[in-house]
Amino acid sequence: MIDRDLGRAATTDSPNTHIEELTMSRILVTGSAGFIGYHISRELLNLDHEVLGLDAITNYYDPKLKHSRLAILHGYEKFSQHIGRVEEMDSYFSVVEDFDPQVVIHLAAQAGVRYSIENPAEYLSSNVDGTRAIMELSRRVRPKHVLIASTSSVYGGNETLPFAETHATRSPLSLYAATKIAAESIAHSYAHIWNLPTTCFRFFTVYGPWGRPDMALFKFVKAVKSDTPIDIYGEGAMSRDFTYIADLTASIVRLIDLPPGDISRDPAPQTLSPVAPFRIVNAGGGNPVPLMQFIAEIESALGTEAKKNFLPMQPGDVTATLADTTALQALIGDLQYTPISVGVREFVEWHDGYYGS
């Protein structure tokens, strides 16, 4: 198995100098056995923070992959893990209370647009009630910053590109997107009522080593290796703002010390709520890649051509995504961008090492 540390700590100083550096040491990460949660937890541990991970280890995809990620995290002295669903937090609240987190990073969620059509109840439980539970936890333990994962899917039927945080999110195209809009609203209300500094970051098609098997890159690589046709929806005419996992991790880690502050002195005031210590920020690369180019990079990395099965758009999908990263750059400085050719090759190398070439 290849065990490569792909996190690259950012060196650019943040321009947001009016906010006192919080220098956190105890950080709660929900979804720590997941793709993004694993990478963020590992980067925090590399930076010598203490991390308590929470994860339900559901069977939405192969739990062995989740346990493999956790095995690496358990190699760090400052990592501990509790298995349980976030919406059932009351049953193990004492574990978190004893840990006394200074920061809460909430990544646990039921992901996937298409699965939300098949199993809507799981999304309501994990994404809506789970966020409610995390915010209730936060108002009790009073962390200095709560960071919550959202998604570019909330932009739904919006046809204006790039997607900006100020765009309306009233036209979700999937239940997954609808539950994430609800999660953002729940977080905002708690931030307002309980004065909880909260940041919601909207992910844009994150990919890379240790990724989820239900994502396109994973599916395509597996299919090409087995000489099986890949399904290409939208007749291949889609594009995505692909965000490499190490780039995303660097951005999120740098946001930790930047809780929403004084709107009159904030470098990205357009992302702040006028009535709560609450911010929404796009966490993407700002570099759209056509789907067919993405597939060409996979073929190049594997050294073989994919058999292609072109299909119409699926329900809940959008034609294109592109993040306006103006606010994110104002907050943390220059962003990292890993070229798609490099990111895809890194994934293929990991896949070869973990599953065999």
Catalytic positions are: 176
Q: Which two tokens stand for residue 105?
A: 């990073």
CB 259 within 8 A of CB 200: no
Beta-sheet pairing, 239-240 with 289-290: antiparallel
275 secondary structure, DSSP code: S
- Cα diameter, the chain: 58
Q: What is the dihedral of CA 56, 61, 65, 67, to 10 degrees?
A: 20
CB 117 within 8 A of CB 138: no
19 secondary structure, DSSP code: S
Sequential DSSP letters for 116-172: HHH-HHHHIIIIIIHHHHHHHHHHHH--SEEEEEEEGGGGTT---SSB-TTS-----
Phi, psi torsion values for 308, nearest 5 degrees: -115, 135
First to last CA, the chain: 11
Q: Which two tokens stand for residue 345?
A: 């090759």
Report the C-alpha gap between 27 and 138 in whole angstroms: 12
- What count of Cα atoms within 13 Å lies in the side-chain half-sphere of residue 273? 23
Report the C-alpha gap between 158 and 202 in whole angstroms: 15
Helical axes 35-46 vs 245-255, angle rounded to 10°: 60
- The one-letter code for the residue type at 226 is S
Paired with 136 in beta bridges are: none
